Amino acid sequence: MRQHHLLPPQPAANAPDSEDTTSGRIRSLLNDIVEKISSQCCLLDARMRTAMAEPESGMATAEYAVVLIAATGFAGLLVAILKSGDVRELLMSIVKQALNIG
């Protein structure tokens, strides 16, 4: 993995004072943050490349789900229509006529 350094390394000093150690800690923290962001970007890039390799691989499942929901709604509508009194009488008259013809 590549090493990213946000800030250049600080020069070596014989006796670092408190400002040098503070800036060294800040520099170290910033470099750690850059490294974490870089690794997360690499993971995101890999996920995006995987998803874009076959963008329609999950479409069949989604299409089946949409068709199933539409069919369930249509079945509910038919049940509501067939339960009405007028439609029931119409269907009963059709069945009686079909049985009387024979």
What is the per-residue pLDDT for 73?
92
Q: 3 pLDDT exceeds 60?
A: no
What is the per-residue pLDDT for 1?
47
Shared domain for 101 and 68, answered yes or no, is yes
Name the domain count of the chain: 2
Shared domain for 66 and 49, answered yes or no, is no
The domain of 35 spans 1-55
- Asked whether 33 and 4 are in contact (CB, 8 A), the reply is no
Query: Distance between CA atoms of 62 and 68, rounded to whole angstroms?
Result: 10
39-97 pLDDT per residue, tens: 888 888 888 887 777 766 666 777 888 899 999 999 998 888 888 888 888 888 888 88
What is the per-residue pLDDT for 39?
85
